[in-house]
A and B are shown apart, each in its own frame.
Chain A
Amino acid sequence: QQPVQSPQAVILREGEDAVINCSSSKALYSVHWYRQKHGEAPVFLMILLKGGEQKGHEKISASFNEKKQQSSLYLTASQLSYSGTYFCGTEVSGGSNYKLTFGKGTLLTVNP
């Protein structure tokens, strides 16, 4: 089942923060976050495997809740380069062949 991402779109000014959510109706094995610039391929940001895990680097981080059904991506002090569409890809518990199901994406626009 396709995970649900929210919001669908968000507009920020440089320096503002944003949170993007990814929810599943099933327990997940992992959540993968990607960013895609217009006309380009999705680029891997990070993966979360453990319930309660938080990880990231500097201004982009993510969490995976204890029940392993929701993940959030945090972008702090946003920069113009953060603009793009963010996707979560989920792997269900008990899944195989490393198959991911992707949400519909969240379009993030950062303005000067």
Chain B
Amino acid sequence: DAGITQSPRHKVTETGTPVTLRCHQTENHRYMYWYRQDPGHGLRLIHYSYGVKDTDKGEVSDGYSVSRSKTEDFLLTLESATSSQTSVYFCAISTILAGEETQYFGPGTRLLVL
């Protein structure tokens, strides 16, 4: 399963509060990604990382920040949660599957912002 976990798996929070989601991997993968998934939009890239302390923005990065202080952890922070950030958040790593370089997804975090 490429050793990738996400925490928490479910979270309910209130508008205006900060929220941090964690993605943890155990296999020393260099590339990590955060996506959000909403009905009718598919998977959209929020931020990604190409190494420790090396991160860059994706297509829907407003209102989100990330940090990667060690290889195994990639944190996504919603600085002041809004109802529009209610979504399912997936972390992914770039890895070799069936002999090909592709992305493997974690189990997801369901976030509800009230």
Contacts and interface: CB of A to CB of B under 8 A. Distances in A.
A73 interface: no
A102 B107 contact: no
A40 B106 CA distance: 9
Interface string A88-112: 0100000001111111110000000
Contacts, number: 54
Interface residues on B, range: 20 to 34
B77 to A, nearest CB: 21
> Is chain B's interface secondary structure helix, strand, loop, or mixed overall?
strand
Interface of B: 31, 33, 35, 40-45, 48, 50, 56, 58-59, 90, 94, 97-98, 100-108
22 contacts: A2-B42, A32-B103, A41-B108, A42-B43, A43-B105, A44-B102, A44-B104, A46-B98, A47-B101, A47-B102, A89-B103, A98-B101, A98-B103, A99-B33, A99-B45, A99-B48, A100-B45, A101-B45, A102-B43, A104-B40, A104-B42, A105-B42
